[in-house]
Structures are given as structure tokens and as C-alpha cells.
Structure 1
Amino acid sequence: MGISPKEEKFINNLQQEILDYLELNDDRSFSVNQLHKAFAIRDRKTKEIYSDVVARLVREGRLIKQADGNVRVDTDSFMVEGRVDHVNARFAFIIRDDAEKDIWVSTQDLYDAKDGDRVRVQARKSSNKKQDRPEGEVVEILERRSAELVGVLQVTPGYSFLIPDSKKIYEDIYVNRYETMGANHLDKVIVEVLRWATPGKKAEGRVVKVLGKAGENETEMHSILAEYGLPYEFPEAVEDAADAISVTIPKDEIKKRKDLRKILTFTIDPIDAKDFDDAISYQVLKNGNTEIGVHIADVSHYVKPGSILDQEAYKRATSVYLVDRVVPMLPEKLSNGLCSLRPNEDKLTFSAIFEFNEKGAVVKEWFGRTVIHSDRRFAYEQAQELIEHTGEVTDSYEPIIKHLNQFAHILREARFKTGSVNFETAEVRFELDEAGKPIAVHPRIRKDAHKLIEEFMLLANKKVATFVHEMRQTDPRNTMVYRVHEAPDPEKLRVFSTFAKKFGYQVTTEPKQVSHSFNALMEAIEGKGEEHVLQSLAVRTMSKARYSTDAVGHFGLAFPFYSHFTSPIRRYPDVMTHRLLQHYLDGGESPQRAPLEIQCKHSSDREKLAAEAERASIKYKQVEYMSLHEPQVFDGIITGVTEFGLFVEIGDTSCEGLVRMVDLNDDFYDLDKENYRIVGKSNGRVFTFGDKVKVKVRSTNLAKRTIDLEMIGMRNSNGYANNRERRRDMPRGSARSSKVIPRGKRRR
């Protein structure tokens, strides 16, 4: 008969008490009787409980029993907490709370923990000398991930089961036939897990929402949002609160602000944008200098701290951008109406105003609440036409936008001189038909008009952060919400440097020279076959930017102080920044950091989820697009080399698929891991990172968002279609694969 959850919790707490005590005294060992005395245990029953717990800790390998019978902690092991990242069916990584190196855990040592669960892990130095990552086992599940899973429902006459969309959940969920909410076979549904699988018992759940038929655009987009725990509609009370806000700006509110309505102001945004959260103003001053204002929607005027709108905005923390839609942080009345800086309307804004001299240096700055009136709305394409125009001037905005572009070039050049890293990541844009099917994929091309806006937004973010930090000249400084970005991990940098060297490029690992070295590399590889591969790998060496109240700087931009001030319609930290800035302008004291740090952590976590959902929607559309072009031959480039195959990215579409090792049908291939390549065992043919190849689509799997590719131009003198058929006909006992990977190494 099993123990109750209450008893299990008591034992777990007791175990932790004993371990904590022994870790404090790790220089000696204890007998069980000495532990009884240490904890002042006198009655026999409690002594038996303590003895049983000690014996359990010894069996689990968390305590070492010596020849004399005494026990001690293993000084090579340590206890940490973190979140499970179940990367494949064989093992997981525990992403540690303390941001140190992840811990490798075999699936059999997960203690039934699932991807996303928060756990306590007994960790130790790896037994594999080549592996510097610790390994361990889960000893306690501290917090379960969301109990809801999204997937396809398989319906049979007697029962149903869910096949989860998440690639990191490796078990189906049994659903009683009376708990399906009428869902049909192959419908996408959300299932609440009632019980996770245990030895001998399958996981069980019940359908709580039917999303629709799998494969339909609306169903798939909603299922991606649900998979990442992101909402796609606002509660009625939140919509009502937004609807209740007056659209009229009170005259007494205008009197409190700097009135900039007579200064030339305009917006530059994507052609399909609906929310315009930033505008630029321009005027030449009497002293010959140029005044440029960066004006941001004053969301904090409408969204008050603690209100229902504020609670919902904080909960979401960010707008989510899928291929075919935006899921906004704020209701439409705010995001596309009151707070959108539409042309020919008075709007309340928060502004950063800069005076530039003729050399493009900022000589004066001002921050505060304003009211503006945008005179014109430009799409990026329209602004770019004016920048590139060389004939007679017919648009009065042309010289203004060209002048702004000159200042933007000066700001950009100064950034790179001080160490800003020049990464241009590849992005794609889809053309969709009325049903949401992708009919074309185009690379997004960033031109001067995009970079112009970017530079002035970066300037405003940097100057606001610096202004708040310098308001108080002694520590502790004023509490502020910073966008921080640490320097690359030295080990990742070393690995990347070694890899780049194989292509003939030098990347220094000296901390002070890294950014300049990266910029030199980006310039050297521009337009070459290895450009995208090296660029994407360089990005992976970088730390992830996040929000924090610690002013640790932004490595990628080479700014000592940087904040997010320019997009409060779609990012909650920008709302926090506006509130703090106004608080300090009003003479307020610095608030406690701890509550704001919690909000920063929450916002960073939500940003990560939103980014994952965006990538999932892009991947889905890429797979859908390629499924419509299966007979076509594509030019591709090898972007990954593994023991199971080659990853190939296809031309301008940026669609990535897998050429499986068993489908390389002209030879058996060995993985040369050190040199990032595979080599034919008989013919010596080599495939490596950056190689250009021709491929066609072998198969697509929309449910798993995967593409299998087939290499063109491969020849098999034996007449086999692929290595699967060749292995099938080999005699029993012969060498059926080109390389045998030891079981332990394969697990890692």
C-alpha cells in the first residue's frame, strides 16, 4: 500500500533537512545514532523514521555509506533547482535557476517529471571525461507545468487518445470516450491532464476545448497559441474597461504637457501596420541645429497600475506576432485606436527630444509627457523611395527624410566604432491566400528607411536609461528597468572560433575584441556560401537579452545603459519604464527593486514564449508551403551535420529540412564531429557546413512541422533506392551500419 501525498511531502522535507545538515558538516561522517542526537530525536518511532530516510538516501546514492557504517554527503554532488527541457526521448537538460551550466539527466532519472516542470536535482560531475556539463537525477518535482496540452485527438469506438503537438512530450494521453466534448477524429483539441503516466499506467485526461479540424489555418494558429499558453482573446471585463475610456483628450490634460502639435511630425511603419506606437518630429532651430523628437504612445496615461487593463497587460507582457495575425497585449481600442499615433489626430505621448549639431552629435536632450499631431503616415517602402530619389524634389518631406537618414548613418557608425555587433538575421515574409495558405515566401530586406527608425529608437532607449541612472550620482542608483545583454559564454565562443577557423576566418576570444572581431567576420562572409551558417552560429554564441533592474549593460549594442522605452503598446517593460521615468521627473524616491525584478523576470519569460510561438507559426507555414512544392528541385545550403543526417536550408525561403543519413544512397557515411562534416566510407565524398546542394522534398509532416528532403545527384551503383533497402538485404551478422556509437555516448 502506497504512502499518501502528505506523507511523501513530510519524507521529502525530512530528507532535505538531513542533507542540509550533512552538507554543512561535509568534513565528517555520522552514525545514525549521532544524527538522532543532532536532531534531538528520543522516541523510538521517530528514530525509525529517521533511520528509514537515511537508508533511502543511501539507496538513492545521495549519501555515501562508509565501511564503518557511518554516512556522509558526496562532496562531488550538489543539489540545484531548475526547469526541465526534455530535448529528446532519451534525455533532458535541467535549466538551472542560478543560470549556471545546464544539467544532463537521463529520461529514466527524471522521476516522472515532464518538459516544463520545475524540479530539484541531485547533480554531480559528469562521469564522461569529455563532458564538462554536470549530470544528475531528479529527486523532487516542485511545480508541474501547465496541465493542458494541445494536440490531435485520435478517436476509436471504445476510447480516444491525444497525440500532443509538443515535440517534448513523449507519451499519448488516454481520453475516456465520455470526456471528448464531441470532438471528431483528427480534431485539434486542448486536453487537461488529470493524471500523468506512472509505471504500468498511461496518462489520462479530458478534452476541455475543441479547436477545429487539424490542418485548417485558424485551427493551427489557435493551437500554436494554446501550445505555448498564450491567449488569443480578451476577457469580456477587460474589453469593457477599454470601451469605457473616453476618446476625447481633456483640455486640462493638454495643459500639463509640452504641446508639440505645430511641429512637423510623421510616422514610418510597415505597410500593413495598424498600431503606430512611435513618431518622429523634425525642426531646424534658430541656432542652425536640428531638433529631432522621438514620440511614443503614452500608454501609462490610459493603463493605470493595478487596474484590470494593467493586470491583463502584465499577464500577457507582450504582443505575439504569428505569420497571419497579431495577438495584442492591449485591447484593440487602445492598441489600434487611442494609443496609435494615426495621422491627423491629436495624441498623448511620452517624448525624448534631441538637439543635434551639424556633425550629428547630440548637444541637448529633454524627456517628458507631450501632445503631438502626426501630419503624415509613411510606409517603409514610401520613405525608402524618397531616400533613393535623385531627380527634382516633388515631395516636401524628401529633404527632411534624407537629412534624418544622414543623422542615422552617423549614429550607426558611432555604435559600431564603440563595439556594437552588426548582426543581420534572416527573416521571411509570407504571401497568404484568403484561406491562409502560403502562396509565396520572400526574404525581408532591411533598407535605410528601416535602419533610420531603428537608430532613433535605439538612441531614445539608450538616453532614457542613461538619464535615469545618472539622476542620482551615488549608489544605490535609482531603480530602473533595463534591457540587459551579457557577453558571450567563453566556452561557446571558443567552439565557434574553432569552427570559423575551418572556413579560414579568425575570431578572437579576447573579451575586449570580440565585437570588433565579429563585425570583421560579418563583413568578410557577406555574399558567400557560408554567410548564413556562420551568422546563425555566431548569434547562438550570444547570451539571450532579458529585462532586469541590474544595470549590467548591453553587450550586443555596446551600451552601458539601455532600456525599452519605445513600444509600450506591445511590451509591458516599456510601460514600466514610462512610469518610472515620470515618477523620477516628478521628484519621486526610488522604489524597491525586488517587486520590479519579479516583473522583469515574468516579462522575459513571456517574451521567450511569444518568440517560440512566432517561430512555430513560421515553421508551420514553411512546411505547408513546401508541401505544395514536393516535385520541385531547390538550391540549398547545409546548415547542420548530425549522426542522423544533414540539415539543409532552402534558398530565399529559409525553409529547413532534413536529409536523413539512411537516404544518402551512394555510400555509408561516417560523422566527423570535430570537423562538422560527414565522409563517405568508400567513395570519400564529403558533406560539410556551408556546402551548396540540390534537394527536393521527400515528405512533409504538418503535425510535427518537419520537412524530409532528398539529395539530388546521388548515384548508387548497386541499384538500391536508399540505404534502408541496402541494409535490409545484408546478411545477418554483417556490418549493418557504418559506425557503432557506444550506448553511453549515444545517450549524451
Structure 2
Amino acid sequence: MGKRKKSLPKGDKRRSKKDIIKQVVNFFNRNTTRAYNHKQIAAEIRLKTPEEKSMLPVILEELSDADFIKQVSRGKYQANATGMTLDGRFERRSNGKNFFVPDGSEDEKVFVAERNSAHAMDGDRVKIQLLAQRKGRDPEGEIIEILERKQTRFVGTLEVQKQFAFLVMDSKVLANDIFIPKDKLKGGKNGDKAIVEIIEWPERAKNPIGKIIDILGVAGENNSEMNAILAEYGLPYKYPQKVEDAANKIPEEITAAEIKKREDFRNTLTFTIDPRDAKDFDDALSIKKLKNGNWEVGVHIADVTHYVQEGDIIDKEGYNRATSIYLVDRTIPMLPEKLSNGLCSLRPNEDKLCYSAIFEIDNDANVKKYRIGRTVIHSDRRFTYEEAQDMIEGADGDHKEEILVLNGLAKKLREARFKKGAISFDRHEVRFEIDENGKPLGVYFKYAKDSNKLIEEFMLLANRTVAEFIGKAKKDQKAKTFVYRIHDLPNQEKMENLAEFIRRFGYKIKADGSKTAVSQSLNHLLDEVSGKPEENLISTIAVRAMAKAVYSTDNIGHYGLAFDYYTHFTSPIRRYPDMMVHRLLTRYLDGGRSVSKPLYEEKCKHSSDMEQLAASAERASIKYKQVEYMSDKLGMDFDAVISGITEWGIYAEINENKCEGMIPIRDLDDDFYEFDEKNYRLVGRRQKKEYRLGQEVRIKVARANLERKQLDFALVEKEKE
């Protein structure tokens, strides 16, 4: 009796050769820049049976004969894309190694030589034509059209000569300086920090031609440099006078009619807990004991949208900025000071208008019920985090009992969050002691203590509750459009890379499995590395494995916080999405219809983009102050840990102050070092000496370049290796 043939799984049918050819053609049309072998192609187009898999080599040979694909090495095929045009993003490098990134294919970069760049700027949307690929070389292209300019304004220092001037740029995104004719100088002097706009770049000219937009001050002065950082990222460095004037016209008086519309909390104990130097108090807590033994806790948020009307001049400026920016030595507010530090700031001993989430909570931190609405409050006391922390640790003080109750409830809320899979990224912040001229005198680290976590937990509770209130639609009803703060699952490949990397240090992590299992494994890792030399390195790489949190109208939950629903409701003074949330809440509480989803998705994307720009500027200001702080320590030795390995050098972070610098590979003159990307290391070709991530080293401060925000280190050989 003959063997029975295995039947295909139910619902599957064997694909014909014609079907498979169609799928292979579609696959190579989608993936134009990389080469693939039989196994990879079979997996991508989901060939399952031996019969289907056996047809693939024949099909690949036929398509190769037809010049649709080409065999670039034995068994590896690539789309024969010579002459094919693609749209995407241009990435410019000052060393001439420019790249094109096709739309939807971040990992498939195409090299663009400077001669083929058509003077495209970094970030421009362009159209390229793929060139004939040379054997063993990466794909190469030529820009044939600039579709959209990303940036035309640049920041740098002026070099003024008799008849003309140049702008020498801070960030080396262009290979050449910008030429400025004498009549476009706008009073700029040699050594001034300036913003210049490129007005033309003739085809055969080496340098672009520009005109001065604004003079920021003398290079090297603190104000000039901080404003230059903001301008470099296209962020505002001054507030328009007409917006300030509009804010100054807003009446300060709270009318009896307005108070009558609101729930009155002025006789309930209320206080704020904020940083020592804070001026914009946008949240307060109230607490009172209920007759049933439970606690009524109010999270009161400044009612900014009572004062700022949608579409008015202040609102438009707030939307454009989308966020306050926190540089090392200053805050650049989203809203005018009259609002941020005055009308809307929940200062003590003043009546203030709020939007509030009021909770009835039992002693185990279970929320029994809640309500959301507009209120009027009167803050009894302004606490700093340090004052509240002292009481938590045993000192006496005003309202100590209430602060201890809130702290106990916050700890239980936090514990419940971690049981559900929240991730604990309690990382330190680098801060500077700065004199009146902005010069850094010292470095210190800010760690989150119980008083910080107390406020954090009640803000998280309010944000989550507001998101659930709108997002959880009633049965047979569609959820209305809303602004969510979402955080996607970690990238699987990055998690596997993290697992592989930490194995070198003797740690393990679950790279896959249930959401809770992975997050608990991450928390265990972060606990294990706490206090170890490799802590900062491993926690940084773990953060990079995570997706970025963004704003969206499509709710997918917040992975890092382990919340199914989450939004930003608690900081409308400094974040525009919170203002959007307040307005949507008001609309829906009043029975209004759902707003336009595409319109709000566009606003969400703008807010996310501005948040990223602000974060980049904040990091640049820290980097600048680190270089400035180290500039008088040239020649001094420090213990450090290798924090990065690249083909051009080693990055090392000083243990005592977390300042990072680079040891250029050209300075490693005891051998010829090769970059082993997979294993995060440099290896000497002859002596096999290696430098790897996390390795402890002794360094000397060699150079401090403030213009480039760059520290150069030199390795100091230890007596004992």
C-alpha cells in the first residue's frame, strides 16, 4: 500500500508557479536595495510545502535571465534597479559620505557621492536615480530632484573680511561654509553668533550663498550659545511682543459667576509639591478623610483653557511651540509668563481655577469612584520636594500626616502598576551648579525620591483616568476622537540585541514572551545593574530598545506604564497636548460630537515632533555645559567607562561627572584597530588587544571644542592591565 500524501493545512492551497512568480516579483519591487538568498525569500513570501520551495530556485534563475534581478554573489539575488527612481530622505555628512533613505525602508540606505548630491541639504525629501551597482559595493544613487527642503537656516560664527563674510557652522551638516555678501551682513561683526538663511546655491559653486536673519550675540557668551542651540533646532529663542501684550490684557479677577459654575475646594486642605526653583505650579493635591474611612484625593490642574481660547493669538503661539523647553540654565515657556508664572500658576494663598480629577480611595489605594470637572481651589502651602522628603523620612512639618497618607497610597499605586508590568526606568539626571554668567561650577545628579514618586503616581492616576473616561466607550457606542499618549511594544530585534549584549556582562533578559514577563525581566535587569560601573551603559541601551512614546488619536495603550489607556492631562502650562485634552474633555462633558480624527492626528504628530526637537536641544545644552565645565581640566586624568564604539573611535564617560568624550581611532597608534560592529568592540590587527563597551579605562582630557560641543580624550595606560 503506497504512502498517503500529507494534506495541506485547512484553508491553504498549493500555489502555482505563476502565483509564486508574481509574489517574487512583488517582493523585489518592494525591496530594491538589498540582496536575498533562497531561504530569506521563501520565508518572506511564506512558501510552506517542499513542492513550492523546490520551484523557487528555477524561478530565480528565470528572472535573472530576464534581467529583472541579478545574482550579486553565489545564491544571493537583488533587484536589477539600474535607472529606477525612488523618493525618500537625504542624509548629509560633512565627510562626503551622504546617504539616501527610501520611504518606508529605514534600514536600506543608498550611498550618494557629493558630486551626485545636487546640493541637497540634510533631511531634504529628494528623488534619486539608482546607478549601476559595482560588484561587492553598496547601492549608489544620484539625486535628480529636490522635492522638499527640510532646512534653509543655519547657525554659526561669522568670519568677516573686507568685501565678504562666511558663516562657519556649529554643526557640520554641510561640507562647506556659507558665503555671505557684504550687503547681506545686517551689521554682523567678526566673531558674532548668527542665523543665516541660504538664498541660492549655484550649480557650479562650492559654497552656498546666504543672508543674515538675526545676530545672536558674541560667540562664547552664555546667552548667545544657548540661543544658538535653540535656533539650530529651529526652536524659538524669544517671545513675540504681540503675544505678551495679548496675555497682559487678560483680566486677573475671578468673578463670583465663574466660581458658581465650579465645585469649590477652597476650604479643603490643598498644597503643591514642586522643584525648589519652579515658578509654574500646574498641579496641586487636596486631601480629606471621609466619614466611611476612605480618602478623597483631588488632583487639581491649572485651567489654562479658561484663559486661552482656541485659535486666539496665544493659542496659535502655544500650538507652534507645543512644549516648554528646559535648557541647562533657563526655561523657554510655551505660554507667556503672565499665564505660566502668574494667572495659571497654582501659587499658595491665592484662589485659582482648575480642571480636577477627584478620587475616593480606600486605604489599600483602590479607587472606589471618581469625578472629573472644573473647580476653584486655594493652595494652603507650597512644598519643595526636599521639604516633603524630609517629612517622609521623619522630620516634623506642616501637614505631615496628610503627606504621609498620600505617600503610603502612592507606594501602593506604584506597586500595583509594577505587578501589571510597568517598567522602572529611574535614571539620574545630570544637573549643573551655575554662576550668574551661566558658567558651570559643578556637576551633580538628581535622583527621584519618594516625594517625586508621590506626585508622579497621582499624576499618572489622573492621566489614566481621564483617558479611560473618554476612551472606554459604552456598549454599542463608538469611542470619540481623543488625544492619547501611546507607547508601543519594544522592537523584537532590538530586545534580542540587548539580550546578546548584556550576556557579556553575565546578565540575562527575556527578549520575548508575554508583555508582563518581558517587562518584569527588564525590571530585574535594571535592579541587578543598579550601582554597578555598567549601570548607565546598560540602562541607556535598554532605553534604546524601547519604542518612543508619542501622541496619537489611535489608542494602543502605554507599554512602559502598563496602562491600556493613557493621556497627558496634568501639565497644560508646558504641553500643548494637555490643552487639547482639556478642550476635548469640556466638549464631551457638555455632550458635544466627536471632533475630526485626521485634524487631531496631525496636531498629535506636530506635538510629538516638537517634543523630540525640544529634547534634542535640551541634550545639546547639557553637552555644551559639560564641554565648558571640562575646558579648564585639560591634561587631567579621570577614571571612565567605554560608552560607545564606532569605526571612527571610542566614546568614554567619566565616572564622577558623566561627561562623555571621544578617543579618535587615529590616536590609537600602538596597532591598526578594526571595528567589530556585532560585538561592540575595536580589535587590534596584530596584537589582538581589544576595547569593548563597558570596559573601564583611564583617560586624559586632551581637547575641549565648545563650537562642536565635543570633548576629545586620550587613553592613559594603567600600570596594571
Q: Give yes or no for TM over 0.5.
A: yes
Amino acid at match of 2:639: D
| Displacement of 1:507 | 2.0
Aligned-pair CA distance for 1:127: 9.3
| Farther off after superposition, 519-528 or 572-581 | 519-528
User: 1:614 and 2:618 equivalent?
Assistant: yes
Shift of 1:152: 0.9
The equivalent residue for 1:10 is none
1:48 alignment counterpart: none
3-state SS of paired residue (1:268): strand
What is aligned with 1:412? Answer: 414
**Are the aligned partners of 1:104 and 1:136 in contact in 2 as well (CA < 8 Å)?**
no
Q: Say whether 1:631 aligns with 2:635.
A: yes
Structure 2 counterpart SS, 1:670: strand
Q: Structure 1 451/130 Cα, relative in aligned 2: closer, same or farther at 3 Å?
A: farther
Residue 35 of structure 2 aligns with which residue? none
Question: Residue 456 of structure 1: which of 455, 458, 481 is its match?
Answer: 458
- Contact 2:118-2:203 at 8 Å conserved across structures: no
Give 1:145 deviation, angstroms.
2.2
Q: Distance in 1 between matches of 2:538 and 2:367?
A: 36
Which 5+ residue runs of structure 1 have no aligned equivalent? 1-22, 28-63, 717-748
In structure 2, give the amino acid aligned to 1:469. Answer: G
Alignment correspondent of 2:53: none
**2:196 aligned residue:** 191
Instruction: Please give the alpha-carbon distance, in whole angstroms, between the structure 1 residues aligned to 2:131 and 2:567.
Output: 38
| 1:604 alignment partner AA | S
Q: Which residue of 2 aligns with 1:740?
A: none
* Pairs aligned (count): 647
Shift of 1:258: 0.7
Instruction: Compare 707-716 and 440-449 and name the one that shifted more.
Output: 707-716
Q: Distance in 2 between matches of 1:370 and 1:384?
A: 28
Aligned-residue offset at 1:664: 3.0
1:508 offset after TM fit, Å? Answer: 2.0
**2:599 counterpart residue number:** 595
1:264·1:282 contact (CA, 8 Å) conserved in 2?
Answer: yes
Of residues 649, 660, 663, the one that matches 2:664 is: 660
2:106 aligned partner, one-letter code: K
Say which SS state the counterpart of residue 272 (structure 2) adopts.
Answer: strand
Q: How does 1:317-466 map to 2 (within 5 A)?
A: 317-389=322-394, 394-466=396-468
Q: 2:266 aligns with which of 261, 266, 270?
A: 261
1:368 and 1:128 map into 2 onto residues whose CA distance is: 68
Task: Tell me by how many angstroms 1:663 deviates.
Answer: 2.3
CA displacement at 1:129 relative to structure 2: 9.7
Q: 1:653 is paired with a residue of what secondary structure?
A: coil
Structure 1 residue 312, shift from structure 2 partner: 0.7
1:698 equivalent to 2:716? Answer: no
1:533 aligns with 2:537: yes
Q: 8 Å contact 2:112–2:142 — kept in the other structure? A: no
What are the superposed Cα offsets for residues 302-322 of structure 1, whole Å, 9 maximum, x if unpaired? Answer: 111111111111111111111
2:622 and 2:400 mapped to 1: Cα distance?
Answer: 36
Which of the numbers 89, 92, 105 marks the counterpart of 1:86? Answer: 92
Provide Cα deviations, 1:13-62, integer angstroms capped at 9, x if missing partner: xxxxxxxxxx9xx89xxxxxxxxxxxxxxxxxxxxxxxxxxxxxxxxxxx
Q: Which moved more, 1:101-110 or 1:73-82?
A: 73-82
| One-letter amino acid of the structure 1 residue matched with residue 126 of structure 2 | V
Match of 2:183, SS?
coil
Classify 1:540/1:88 alpha carbon distance in 2 versus 1 (closer, same or farther; 3 Å). farther
Q: Secondary structure at the match of 2:630?
A: helix
Q: What is the CA-CA distance between 1:632 and the residue it aligns to?
A: 2.5
Q: How far does the alpha carbon of each residue in 1:642-664 deviate from its partner, in whole angstroms, 9 at most, with x for none?
A: 22221001124221100122323
Shift of 1:432: 0.9
Cα gap change, 1:130/1:673 in structure 2, threshold over 3 Å: closer, same or farther? farther
Classify 1:314/1:502 alpha carbon distance in 2 versus 1 (closer, same or farther; 3 Å). same
C-alpha distance in 2, partners of 1:554/1:106? 37
Alpha-carbon distance in structure 2 between the residues aligned to 1:545 and 1:94 = 26
Structure 1 pair 449–159 and aligned structure 2 pair: CA distance change class (3 A): same
- Choose which of 555, 575, 583 in structure 2 pairs with 1:579: 583
Distance across 2 between alignment mates of 1:174 and 1:640: 36
Confirm or deny: 8 A CA contact 1:664 1:714 kept in the other structure.
no
* 1:641 lines up with 2:652 in the alignment: no
1:126–1:586 Cα change, 3 Å: farther
Distance between the aligned counterparts of 1:304 and 1:116, measured in 2? 35
What's the offset of the Cα at 1:422?
1.2
CA contact (8 A) 1:93 1:103 kept: no
How has the CA–CA distance of structure 1 residues 146 and 679 changed in structure 2, closer, same or farther, with 3 Å as cutoff? Answer: closer
Q: 1:580 to 1:97 in 2, by over 3 A?
A: farther
CA drift of 1:679 comes to: 3.2
Structure 2: 5+ residue runs without aligned partners?
1-21, 27-63, 69-77
**Counterparts of residues 505-520 of structure 1 (less than 5 Å):** 505-512=507-514, 513-520=517-524
CA contact (8 A) 1:318 1:606 kept: yes
User: 1:571, 1:285 → 2: CA distance?
Assistant: 34
Match of 1:115 in 2: 122
Secondary structure at 2:305 match in 1: helix
**Which aligned pairs between 1:193-212 and structure 2 lie closer than 5 A?**
193-196=198-201, 198-212=203-217
Question: Which residue identity is paired with 1:451?
Answer: K
Asked if the contact 2:101–2:109 (Cα under 8 Å) also holds between the matched residues in 1, the reply is no
Deviation of the 1:105 alpha carbon: 3.1
Q: Percent of pairs identical after alignment?
A: 50
Using the TM superposition, give the Cα deviation of residue 254 of structure 1 relative to its aligned residue in structure 2, in angstroms. Answer: 0.7
- Change in CA separation of 1:129 and 1:664 when aligned onto 2, cut-off 3 Å: closer
- Look up the equivalent residue of 1:269 and give its one-letter code: D
Return the offset for 1:94.
5.4
Name the SS for the 1:262 alignment partner.
coil
Shift of 1:520: 1.4
Give the stretch that moved more between structures: 190-199 or 253-262: 190-199
2:561 and 2:93 map into 1 onto residues whose CA distance is 31
Where do 1:222-371 residues align within 5 Å? 222-371=227-376
- The structure-2 alpha-carbon separation of the partners of 1:372 and 1:179, relative to structure 1 and needing over 3 Å to count, comes to same
Aligned partners of 2:467 and 2:537: how far apart in 1?
Answer: 34
Is 2:554 the counterpart of 1:550?
yes
Counterpart of 1:675, as a letter, is N
How far is 1:692 from its partner?
Answer: 1.6
Distance 2:251 2:344 in 1: 12
More moved, 164-173 vs 81-90: 81-90
Q: 2:673 is aligned with what amino acid?
A: Y
Secondary structure at the aligned position of 2:678 is classed as helix
Q: Given residue 480 of structure 1, which amino acid in structure 2 is its aligned partner?
A: F
For residues 122-178 of structure 1, the C-alpha deviation after alignment (integer angstroms, 9 at most, x for no partner) is 6899999999xx986644322112322111111223321111222323321111123
Cα RMSD (Å):
2.9
Which amino acid is 1:408 matched to? A
Q: Would you say the 8 A contact 2:576–2:607 is kept in 1? A: yes
Q: 1:124 to 1:199 in 2, by over 3 A?
A: closer
Residue 279 of structure 1 aligns with an amino acid whose one-letter code is: A
